[in-house]
Structure 1
């Protein structure tokens, strides 16, 4: 099976030894996105909702670069530094996804790169 590296300047460049996403066959595996502005590489300012919107905007850009869209995502992993933000993250996710929603896990973590409050990774299946 061949691998295709997915990269776009519409999402932040990787800040470590990884790709934004990798396509293997019809499946695309997204690396975790934190709320970095793709133009500056800086963490976006604002509350958890603002950070979550930036994360989903970044995921959308990578999905499009891979030839897909958010509605092709079948699994989402969400990592937050405070589960008290669960409801706010859900509300923002509902702005980007419609039913039937992808499978999902939400995990509280002690910390994320660059002091982010949220990180999201995903798996997308292309037809």
Structure 2
């Protein structure tokens, strides 16, 4: 199966040797997004909810560049530097997804790139 690269100018450029997303067959795998402003490339300010919102907006831009939507998301991976922020990030996620909700894992990590508090990646399956 061939791979096709998905990229959006409305999401932060990759800060390493990876693509924003890759489609293989009808499955799209996004790279993790941290709360970078796509225009400035800087980490957004504000609380964890503001950071999570920026992450999901970045992901939305990549997903839409691939011709998909959050309704196609099968799995969400959330990485938090403080699991005490779980409820706040969960509330933001609820603004972006509707039932039936995708599968999800939330993992506590020691640190994330650029000092971010949250990173999220997605797996989508298009019909």
Query: TM-score normalised to the size of structure 2?
Result: 0.99
Alignment of 1:70-89 (within 5 A): 70-89=70-89
Partner in structure 2 of residue 105 of structure 1 = 105
In the alignment, what sits opposite 2:38? 38
Cα offset, 1:98, TM superposition: 0.6
Q: What's the Cα RMSD here?
A: 0.4
What CA deviation, in whole Å up to 9, does each residue of 1:40-68 have, x standing for no partner? 10000010000000000011110000000
CA distance in 1, matches of 2:107, 2:70: 21
Which residue of 2 is the match for residue 18 of structure 1?
A: 18
Structure 1 unaligned residues grouped into runs of 5+:
none
Q: In the alignment, which residue of structure 2 is the partner of 1:125? A: 125
Instruction: Provide TM-score, normalisation by structure 1.
Output: 0.99
Gaps of at least 5 residues in structure 2 are none
Secondary structure of residue in 2 paired with 1:60 = helix
Report how many residues are paired.
127
Distance 1:5 1:49 in 2: 29
Quote the offset at 1:111 in angstroms: 0.1
